[in-house]
Structure 1
Amino acid sequence: MASLTHQLLSLTVVLGAVQLISGYSYNNCIEDPNYNGRFNCIQRKEKNMAAIINDLPRSAINLTISFSSLSHIPGKSFVHLPNLQNLTIDQSQLKIIDPLAFQNLHQLKSLNMSFNFISQLNSSVFQDLHKLTFLSLTHNALEQLPEDIFSPLNELNTLIMSQNRLTNFSGIAESVSYLNNLTELDLSSNKLTSLAHLTVSLPKSLTTLYISSNNLFTLGCKHSFLKFIQVLDLSYNPQLHTMAFLNVDLRRINYLRLRSTSVEVMELLNISNVNAGNVDFSDMGLKDSKLVKDLCILLKTKVEWINKLDLGSNGIKNLRDHTLNYCPNITQALDLSNNKLNSITCLNFLTNQTMLKSVKVEHNYLTSLPSCKTQNMVRFENLEKLSYRYNRILSVDSSAFYHTPNVTTLMLNINTIAFLHRKALKGLKSLETLRLDNNLLTDLFNDTFEDNFNLQILNLRNNRISVIFNGTFLSLRNLTTLDLGGNKISHIQPSGLDGLTRLSKFYLDGNKLKQIDTSLHLVFQDTLTVLDLQSNEICFLNKNISSPFMKLSKLRDLKLDGQRPHGFIVLPDTIFRGLHSLKSLYLTNNNIFHLPPDAFDDLTGLKFLTLDNCCVGVAQLQPGVFKNLRNLTRLIVENMGIQNFSKEVFGNLTQLRTLQLNHNVMKTIHVDALESLPKLHYLDVRNVPLSCTCKNSLLQNWTVYSSHVQVVDLYHLQCSHEAKIKFYNFDTEVCYIDLGKYMFFSTAAVIFLFTLTPLLCVKLYWKFKYGYYTFRSWFGVQWRRLRKEEENCQYDAFISYNSSDEQWVMDQLVPNLEGNGSSFKLCLHHRDFEVGRHIVDNIVSAVNSSRKTICVVSRNFLRSEWCSLEIQLASYRLFDDHRDVLLLVFLEQISKGQVSLYHRMRKVMLKKTYLQWPSSDCTDPTQAQELFWKKLRRAMRSGSRVETEENGSEGRKEEMFETRTSDENYYLLP
């Protein structure tokens, strides 16, 4: 029967363990919770590749190893990851790559090993990468390449080897000549001096070649070497001269960049066959209008029209009227960025360039945009994009864009615009995107945007606007995105948002709003999808308010995090009423005192909720607070002070995939609560002080063995009480008791005893009896020996007293115990302590070599550290050796409260009676003192065999004089 019970219980334990296997983790990597198969191994201290990736599954597709201490990739490091498609090993200390390092990566498409210290590569290192299309070796220490290193890479189309130390272009050309699908080659920031090569040709597929920031002084290549190149960047080669292009075929070039070289642009256009309209003329030394005019005249002799004219970074200070009229027709874009222009006079220098669609005058010195509504003003009807970003514009006058009536995108951001005329934007009826962010605007008026009725995106972020007046946006009936973040808005007038009938995204973050405008649900009830109110000054004083979001039926994203200065304190129960379509809610960085249990009841469509740092101190999450969030897939509750993770709180989150619990204070997590989340895939409990006790034994088992839930950084989680012990492998053997086994042995032992005892009694009765009497005899001898040892002690009593009571000891105690017919031998500090011996050793020796210890208790005694030590040592003998060795003599009345501070003395007083020295005001002091000394002598003799009949008669007489003080509850020793 016992055996059967044992087996059944063991089976139950095994089955329970199988059900608990529900978690998994990786030693040094984290799988992206949003993309299965994407692994990030970032900032790991491991120096061995195997230690980082050996536990990754075959299903891994993307792998990123960054900011590590790896110096070496051994052969066959990735053979267990045959499905890997993207591999990044950057920002590490990689130096050596073994020949077979990437063996078996037949599916790899992208390999990035940038920002390492690789100085050489073996010719067979890429031999298995037949499907590789992208390879980056940026920022390494490569000086040369093996001839056929890239020959296995049949599908490679992008090769980046910038920021290395390559010097031999011929070797590079040889190595890439096999790449029939290569379209882009980046050799920027190396040490190439020319493009000289042997008989090899570049692949016909190669169309983009970057060789900027090298030491080129000549091209040195054959006539047809670059005949298939379409994009050629030779910028920042200061020694490259014009004649380097002589007899080089550049007919297919559609973009040639020669910034910061020694090439003379005029001479280049005369000696080369490059299409003049495809040359980037930025940073080519065209410093004034005359040089620009000369260029235009030359260009016109070469081509009739050009798509784009780039004149940036030339240091141009001004352009005279009609300067660019001498250029061919510019059909697409003109870029004048990074010059020194301080005026553009309504684009007068572009009088005949009416076909332009885009003009960029960024990073110049413009200070104002004057009115352009004048007689004979040229109108650029085709201009669609106009950018004046990164200037110093202070003011924009009325009709400043009258000459560009069809502009759809106007960029005025990142200036210092403090004055925007009411009519500044007048006439821009086609405007769709307006950037006015990062300026100094303070006011917007009801006619500022009256002509911009087609505007769709308006960005006014980071200005100084404080009030939205009535009718400000009344004309913007097509506006879909309004960004007013980073201003000082504290008030929106009742009709301030009228007209925004199609607004979808509204950003009001970083303002000074103290309440949520009640007009929101009236204006945007059928359109608003994104509302950002973070970092305002919103607070609620009443829990019972009507929801300001009640009719925002289309709202999908709501941000209320980080309210200033202290965040939300009160969160009304009804604040989120009506938000059935909401998908994302942000409440981080607030100080909510209490999360109402029904606050989220209407958020039935919510998928993302973040509450990290949202509460004050310990968050008491009420059962059912998440009861209606059945569609929630990601929950962030970091640093909330959560103490308990329970099924009652989290059990309804049936669709939850990602749960971030890090930086909370729970010491245990109940496995049944985790198992109530059937879709959970990602659990983050980093920096949670989980205790390594039996309470978490089931959790440990849950986290280690299954393939269902990834427990982030499990193998680095430390036990709260011992940092050296890891949570995943703390000892749990003592937690699993085999009940059947213990019941079996206990039952067997009882049966054995009941069976054996009668037999022993029958067979060995007289032997037991003889042994009993023999033991009694031995015990009596030992007891008599112990009493004899006591009587042979060196002293009868050790006197423990404070120096302030020494006169009473010498005048009263010593004469009455050592004299007057008494024969007691006392041990006194000043007389009997061994000279030169440590005082503690003397005290211990005195207590142990005396039959009794007499403590002369006074208030000074209680304050003395040495007296405290002496009574401690004596009480140890009293309680531990069970020997009557301690006598207390009170010289003065001491209250209970004072004695209670001394635990040992209080304990002695509860177990024993004690002596009180008679006070001088008693009825008969002499008789009381005589009785005191008799009782003390009797107590000294107690426990000794020398108590005489005389002593006994004295004791009987003394009983007649026994007294007790009623106030202090002191007793005289009987």
Structure 2
Amino acid sequence: MFSEFNFSTAVQCDGVENLYVALKEAPLETDWLCLTNYHAATIEPGVFSRLTNLNVLYIKTRSVDLLPGVFSNLPQLTTLWIKREYRNDSVTFHKDTFLGLNSLHELKISSIELSAFKVSLVNIPYGVEHLILEDNNITYLSDLTASLGTFRNLKNLAVIGNNISELRKADCLTLQNPANYGQFVNFNITHLDLTSNKLSIIEQNSLCNFPHLKCFTVGSSGVEPDNLYQSGIKRIKTLSLQNTGFNIVEICELASHFKVEELLLMFNFIDKMNTFKGSCKSLKKLNLSGNDLTKIEVKKMQRFTNLLELDLSKNDIENLKICTNESMPMLKLVNLNVSDNFLLSVQKRQFECLKELKILSLENNKINFIEDLAFDGLDELRLLNLKNNNLFRISDLTFSNLFLVKHLNLYENTISHFDQKAFINLFSLQDFMVTYDFSIDLDWWFFIRKSVRNMSVKTNILDLRNVFEDEFPLFEALQIDSPNIVANFNVFAEAKELHLKNMVYFENTDALWSPLASFKNLEKLYFTGHPLDVSNISDFFYSMENLPSLKFLFLHDTDKIIKYNQINIIKVFKGLSHLKVLHLKNSGIDHLDSKDIFSDLYALEFLIIEDQIVQEIEPIVFDSMPNLKYIYFLQTTFPCSCKFKGLLSWLESTMRVSIIGFYQQECLINHVRINFIFFLNNNCQSDLDFIMFIVSFLCTLLFMCISLFYESIWWYLLYMIYTVKCWLNRKLQDKDKYEYDVFVSYNTNNEMWVTEHLLPNLEQDGPPFFKVCIHNRDFEIGRDIVENIMDSIYKSRWTISVITRSYLQSNWCSLEMRMATYRLLTESKNSFILIFLDKISREELHYYYRLSKLLDKKTYLEWPDDEDKQKLFWARLRKVIAKSGRQLK
């Protein structure tokens, strides 16, 4: 869109309140910035300074104060437009508002009172050449020019849509310097535009300050041409009097008085071409379009001896008489435009006196007959436009001798017959546009195949199977508007651009397996479906993968075709790895929910979605396009749904892709349109954002609790898990029956005491004989250690802990003691016995809180060194174990 202006990066900001924040997202290479609907009270100095490459700045603002230096550090800014948005707003300027704009060439100020910025005009940057003031309530021209002083660089001054009703003698400014008092102020202005003022009076010498004027424009006013003669202007190269309302003008008198070369009299009420007063020798271009002319008289045309361009379009001309006989003097016309009139025919040698004519435009008339040799004499003609007439026959002599014609437009006619040699003399034809009936003979195509580069064809059925013998060696672009297409497209193999419109059936006779296989060099493809047809042309869509050079793809009105025939969208864009621009207009592709849709579009930079109801867009769809820069939604409808919240979050987080105008996008709910961003922010926050907040909060809280209470909570949780598991295992069993009498918890350093003393005294000395469980002998191999410990404790009537210093320092021993303690508490049974092998003081046990508390409540045994006391030790231990009975399984 901006390529014709040579812009590289364009940014638009709408509804901005914090300009610093908004411009942080703008790329540093931005050279075109449009700021609309600005709300803040001021624009601060240096706010744009980050964008040092800025070339054009457009500001449409509400009430704002443009502080001094606001445009500082913009070394490349050449164009600045400032416009007030509403009448009741006020924009404040300062003397140094434009300070630092050393490269500025064009300044436009719209809808702001002159009094608001008059103080700034004194310090307009020296390099400004174009000053445009629009709708500024300027009453007299001198109110403005008095502020311009002797500013020498200003070339173009446009005062448009103001309240200037008269140019007064008082508007002629004189120098105030006493040494030169009485001399006129001499502006270097060459172009003065007073369009859309109420100008009706021009007094004597009122434009004395513009002696260098080359172009003077007065439009949409009531001024009469005669008033211009006393303005003080001596010579004007271009005089434009558009839409002024007069119906009589002496063209040659006006031209000779000001030595006019270009006279523009468009959209008035002129009904006669008056040329007898004065001289038209200086006139080279005359534009009379949009008037009431009904005929062109030969004698009046003879006055235009040096005229090169004549525009008679949009009049009521029925008969064009320019060259009537051989004695008619030759005219120098190069460009003649008679389009949008009521011409019915073109007569023999009608343009014979226009030997220099290169462009002839006759489109949008009623021409139904062209006499043979009608264009005879147009030896230099390059372009002939006959579009949108009523032509039905082209004979062998219609275009005879047009050897140099490069552009021939016969589009939108009703041609039903071509003579075989109708184009035999068009050796130079490059661009050819034609509409014809399908039943006519197509042999005439043979004569244009060697030169034609661009061709546009509209017909009922395009059948080109047996027309061409050789390829078109210079062919570049093909446009076809036809429902049925059958052709050997190998002859267009060099084409780089293909337009297909209203297509229902497409067959490439040269490539049965793929309709587009012949177009190996194609770079641009435009496809517009038939609005009322749903024919299955899925083979055409799937064959786009055979276009390895395709860079631009436009799909229009394919919604019915895609939905009715259930075309697989994922296959449509396969293989298009060089595509840079994808434009989808009413395409029917409304669910962008899979990363596979655009999986091959590695080079895509621009995605345009237009005139479409978009049902779903998932950000993942853009992941396969690493070079994507811009997404445009034009006249696109979104349903108001929270499923687009992910798209908004992605847009806010990514710096790589810009969705142009998305913040102004509307969504539809119950036939009511509301701002899409407003809806998403106010109705879609509670789902994902709130859940993520709660989950994050709970995870953080849990982590803190585990960190703080690891020692006290972890074992409870672990014990609880295995307790439940053991409870479930024993639920079906008799809880009063045990597999062991005793489970012994000890450290491996004390294993000798257990095997040499404890086991013999419990298992071998009897009766009764006790069944003992120890881990080295009785734990199930391959089973989880904790599960073995828990099962052994719950399968034993008693748990004995052999306490030593090494036992207290062991994690596994500590676990066994904890499990036994928790069982003691939960079952309220006396099932735990403590035996101290080492002499450990209470002070040492103070660091083991649970064991210390247990000793305060339970009687424990200490291993004596004396052998007699050891016998008493075993007797006491056996008595305790035997006391609860022995009901083993």
What does residue range 194-213 of structure 1 map to in structure 2 within 5 Å?
A: 194=168, 196=171
Distance 1:383 1:559 in 2: 35
Counterpart among 466, 478, 481 of residue 431 in structure 2: 481
Q: What residue in structure 1 maps to residue 92 of structure 2? A: 121
Amino acid aligned to 1:122: F
1:230 aligns to 2:181 (yes or no):
no
Q: What residue in structure 2 maps to residue 366 of structure 1? A: 317
> Are residues 674 and 128 of structure 1, via their aligned partners in 2, closer, same or farther at CA, if it must alter by over 3 Å?
same
1:425 aligns to 2:371 (yes or no):
no
1:384 aligns to 2:330 (yes or no):
no
> Are residues 271 and 168 of structure 1, via their aligned partners in 2, closer, same or farther at CA, if it must alter by over 3 Å?
closer
SS in 2 for 1:581: coil
Q: CA RMSD in A?
A: 5.2
Q: Which ranges in structure 2 are unaligned for 5 or more consecutive residues?
A: 664-675, 723-785, 794-816, 831-889
What does residue range 825-974 of structure 1 map to in structure 2 within 5 Å?
A: none
Distance 1:691 1:520 in 2: 55
Instruction: Give the Å deviation of 1:481.
Output: 1.4
Instruction: Give the Å deviation of 1:558.
Output: 0.8
Counterpart among 533, 543, 562 of residue 599 in structure 1: 543
Q: Work out which structure has the larger RCO, using CA pairs closer than 8 Å and 6 or more positions apart in sequence.
A: 1
Q: What residue in structure 1 maps to residue 552 of structure 2? A: 608
> Are residues 80 and 498 of structure 1, via their aligned partners in 2, closer, same or farther at CA, if it must alter by over 3 Å?
same
- TM-score, normalising length: structure 2: 0.64
Q: What residue in structure 1 maps to residue 161 of structure 2? A: 189
Distance 2:3 2:300 in 1: 57
SS in 2 for 1:600: helix
Q: What residue in structure 2 maps to residue 558 of structure 1? A: 498
- CA contact 1:692–1:727 (8 Å) conserved in 2: no
Instruction: Give the Å deviation of 1:39.
Output: 1.0
Q: What residue in structure 2 maps to residue 357 of structure 1? A: 308
- CA contact 1:388–1:411 (8 Å) conserved in 2: yes
Instruction: Map Cα deviations across residues 63-97 of structure 1 (whole Å, 9 max, x no partner).
Output: 1234x47475533483463325245546x562333
1:333 aligns to 2:285 (yes or no):
yes
SS in 2 for 1:423: coil
Instruction: Map Cα deviations across residues 658-704 of structure 1 (whole Å, 9 max, x no partner).
Output: 34578687867585x755444333456987889979x998x998765
Q: What residue in structure 2 maps to residue 822 of structure 1? A: none
Counterpart among 499, 503, 507 of residue 447 in structure 2: 499
Instruction: Give the Å deviation of 1:514.
Output: 3.1
What does residue range 218-257 of structure 1 map to in structure 2 within 5 Å?
A: 224-226=184-186, 228-233=188-193, 241=201, 243-245=203-205, 248=208, 252-256=212-216
Q: What residue in structure 1 maps to residue 31 of structure 2? A: 61
Counterpart among 477, 484, 498 of residue 538 in structure 1: 484
Q: What residue in structure 2 maps to residue 786 of structure 1? A: none
Amino acid aligned to 1:504: R
> Are residues 732 and 358 of structure 1, via their aligned partners in 2, closer, same or farther at CA, if it must alter by over 3 Å?
same
SS in 2 for 1:550: helix
Amino acid aligned to 2:601: L
Instruction: Give the Å deviation of 1:593.
Output: 4.3
Q: What residue in structure 2 maps to residue 881 of structure 1? A: none
Q: What residue in structure 1 maps to residue 299 of structure 2? A: 348
- CA contact 2:499–2:526 (8 Å) conserved in 1: yes
1:409 aligns to 2:409 (yes or no):
no
Q: What residue in structure 2 maps to residue 99 of structure 1? A: 67
Identity of aligned residues (%): 18
> Are residues 226 and 378 of structure 1, via their aligned partners in 2, closer, same or farther at CA, if it must alter by over 3 Å?
farther
- CA contact 2:387–2:410 (8 Å) conserved in 1: yes
Bigger fraction of residues in strand: 2
- CA contact 2:191–2:215 (8 Å) conserved in 1: yes
Instruction: Give the Å deviation of 1:579.
Output: 0.8
Q: What residue in structure 1 maps to residue 738 of structure 2? A: none
Counterpart among 472, 479, 482 of residue 525 in structure 1: 472
Instruction: Give the Å deviation of 1:406.
Output: 2.9
> Are residues 756 and 167 of structure 1, via their aligned partners in 2, closer, same or farther at CA, if it must alter by over 3 Å?
farther
Distance 2:589 2:225 in 1: 68
1:454 aligns to 2:404 (yes or no):
yes
Distance 1:623 1:364 in 2: 53
Instruction: Give the Å deviation of 1:647.
Output: 5.9
Instruction: Give the Å deviation of 1:575.
Output: 1.0
Distance 1:277 1:661 in 2: 47
> Are residues 433 and 709 of structure 1, via their aligned partners in 2, closer, same or farther at CA, if it must alter by over 3 Å?
same
Distance 2:653 2:102 in 1: 36
SS in 2 for 1:656: coil
- CA contact 1:125–1:149 (8 Å) conserved in 2: no
Distance 2:9 2:368 in 1: 51
Distance 1:341 1:719 in 2: 57
What does residue range 561-640 of structure 1 map to in structure 2 within 5 Å?
A: 561-563=501-503, 573-589=513-529, 591=534, 593=536, 595-596=538-539, 599-611=543-555, 613-614=557-558, 615-617=561-563, 620-621=567-568, 626-636=573-583, 639-640=587-588
- CA contact 2:590–2:616 (8 Å) conserved in 1: no
- CA contact 2:452–2:472 (8 Å) conserved in 1: no
Worse-matched range after superposition: 412-421 or 662-671: 662-671
Distance 2:616 2:186 in 1: 68
Instruction: Give the Å deviation of 1:172.
Output: 2.4
Amino acid aligned to 2:385: R
Q: What residue in structure 1 maps to residue 855 of structure 2? A: none
> Are residues 56 and 311 of structure 1, via their aligned partners in 2, closer, same or farther at CA, if it must alter by over 3 Å?
closer
Instruction: Give the Å deviation of 1:241.
Output: 4.9
Distance 2:44 2:356 in 1: 62
SS in 1 for 2:432: strand
> Are residues 496 and 201 of structure 1, via their aligned partners in 2, closer, same or farther at CA, if it must alter by over 3 Å?
farther
- CA contact 2:310–2:335 (8 Å) conserved in 1: yes
Instruction: Give the Å deviation of 1:608.
Output: 1.3
1:548 aligns to 2:485 (yes or no):
no
Instruction: Give the Å deviation of 1:54.
Output: 5.2
> Are residues 448 and 232 of structure 1, via their aligned partners in 2, closer, same or farther at CA, if it must alter by over 3 Å?
same
- CA contact 1:173–1:201 (8 Å) conserved in 2: no
- TM-score, normalising length: structure 1: 0.59
Distance 1:335 1:692 in 2: 57
Instruction: Give the Å deviation of 1:115.
Output: 6.3
SS in 2 for 1:483: strand
> Are residues 464 and 722 of structure 1, via their aligned partners in 2, closer, same or farther at CA, if it must alter by over 3 Å?
farther
SS in 2 for 1:497: helix
Instruction: Map Cα deviations across residues 648-667 of structure 1 (whole Å, 9 max, x no partner).
Output: 66433332333457868786
> Are residues 379 and 125 of structure 1, via their aligned partners in 2, closer, same or farther at CA, if it must alter by over 3 Å?
same
- CA contact 2:203–2:230 (8 Å) conserved in 1: no
Instruction: Give the Å deviation of 1:160.
Output: 0.5
> Are residues 762 and 222 of structure 1, via their aligned partners in 2, closer, same or farther at CA, if it must alter by over 3 Å?
same
Q: What residue in structure 2 maps to residue 111 of structure 1? A: 80
Amino acid aligned to 1:155: G
> Are residues 593 and 316 of structure 1, via their aligned partners in 2, closer, same or farther at CA, if it must alter by over 3 Å?
closer
SS in 1 for 2:204: helix
- CA contact 1:379–1:405 (8 Å) conserved in 2: no
SS in 2 for 1:64: strand
- CA contact 1:507–1:531 (8 Å) conserved in 2: yes
Amino acid aligned to 2:455: F
Amino acid aligned to 2:317: L
